[in-house]
């Protein structure tokens, strides 16, 4: 029997949740406000929160100085491409680990997850040398491959978790009906795991979109995505906070909009199988 919660506790939890949400969201809010300030107002002391002269000058300057849509296109190509390539690799891998496990399956999963604990700078030299020798530096293919490798453990882990919640009896029934392994994965398993796959796609697009270390290291001009677009406004002359904030808002706006409209699907997928 569920325990009743008093109105006071509900109000207290609600207020606490809103405070936590505000603390998390505040940096984005402050960046948004700063993007409409002049450079002088942006560094004013004490800081001005709402009552200042709003201006679009920073956005105009950023659009004049940089080809924003080229950076945006590069981000879309690499983020979506790396996610789709990761799914092609991860779906069969997660299927094998979920429905045909061996005594080493858990060890392999833990090993894959442990690669996320390795600092990126630890493999900077070998990856940079390999990319130069293979001619993949500053290419969409090279950046897509790196982002795929970075996020592949997360994709496999998420899909493995979703696949484990699918009854094995359904797959066995498909085999009894004469379904091949390929048909079982494509026509039976994948449609049943659509919520999980959708949330995996959304989360990994976000991770790939926000990756800055490798995008700055491995690109120079042709394949530079939005993180490099933001970094361009940090110069030896100093940080231009207002213009940097405008560039940051232009870089995160597409992913914020996507996350806002897909939040229900994302939450549904992330909680898939959580309630027994």
Q: How many residues are recorded in the chain?
A: 276
Q: For residue 33, what are its two tokens? A: 């406000």
Helices 124-134 and 140-164: crossing angle in degrees, nearest 10, is 120
Task: Please name the helix (run of DSSP H) or strand (run of DSSP E) that holds residue 197, with its range, or none.
Answer: helix 194-210
Predicted pLDDT of residue 180: 82
pLDDT at 65 (0 to 100):
85
Half-sphere exposure of 96 (CA within 13 A, CB side): 12
Residue 145's SS3 state is helix
Strongest mean pLDDT among 42-51, 145-154, 265-274: 145-154
When pLDDT is averaged across residues 4-28 and rounded to a whole number, the result is 86
- 18 vs 51 pLDDT, higher one: 18
pLDDT at 236 over 80: no
Q: What mean pLDDT comes out for the span 12-39? A: 90
Q: What is the pLDDT of residue 80?
A: 94
pLDDT at 82 over 50: yes
Beta strands in the chain (DSSP E): 234-235, 238-239
CA distance 240 to 12: 41
**pLDDT band at residue 237 using 50, 70 and 90 as cut-offs:** low
Nearest-angstrom CA–CA distance, 76 and 10: 42
* Rounded-to-5 percentages of helix, strand, coil across the chain: 75, 0, 25
Q: What 8-state DSSP symbol labels residue 6? A: -
Pairing of strands 238-239, 234-235: antiparallel
**In this prediction, what percent of the chain has a pLDDT beyond 90?**
27
Do residues 35 and 55 lie in contact, with contact meaning Cβ atoms separated by under 8 Å? no
Q: If you average pLDDT over every residue of the chain, what do you get?
A: 85
Residues 175-192 have a mean pLDDT of 81
Alpha-carbon distance 257 to 12, whole Å?
Answer: 30
């Amino acid at each position: 029997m569920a325990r009743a919660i008093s109105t006071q506790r509900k109000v207290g939890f609600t207020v606490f949740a809103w405070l936590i949400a505000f603390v998390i969201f505040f940096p984005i809010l402050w960046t948004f406000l700063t993007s409409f300030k002049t450079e002088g107002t942006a560094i004013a002391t004490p800081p001005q929160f709402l009552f200042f002269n709003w201006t679009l000058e920073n956005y105009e300057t950023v659009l004049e100085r940089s080809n924003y849509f080229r950076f945006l296109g590069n981000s879309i190509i690499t983020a979506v491409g790396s996610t789709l390539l990761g799914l092609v690799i991860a779906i069969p891998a997660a299927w094998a680990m979920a429905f045909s496990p061996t005594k080493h399956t858990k060890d392999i999963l833990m090993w894959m997850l442990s690669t996320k604990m390795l600092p990126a700078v630890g493999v900077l030299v070998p990856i940079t040398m390999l990319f130069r020798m293979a001619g993949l530096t500053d290419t969409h293919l090279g950046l897509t491959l790196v982002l795929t490798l970075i996020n592949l453990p997360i994709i496999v882990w998420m899909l493995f978790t979703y696949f484990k919640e699918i009854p094995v009896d359904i797959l066995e029934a498909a085999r009894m009906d004469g379904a091949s392994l390929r048909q079982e994965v494509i026509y039976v398993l994948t449609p049943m795991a659509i919520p999980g796959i959708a949330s995996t796609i959304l989360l990994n697009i976000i991770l790939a979109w926000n990756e800055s270390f490798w995008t700055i290291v491995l690109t120079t001009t042709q394949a530079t995505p939005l993180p490099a677009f933001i970094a361009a406004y940090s110069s030896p002359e100093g940080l231009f906070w207002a213009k940097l904030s405008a560039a940051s808002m232009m870089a995160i706006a597409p992913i914020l909009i996507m996350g806002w409209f897909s939040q229900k699907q994302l939450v549904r997928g992330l909680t898939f199988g959580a309630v027994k």
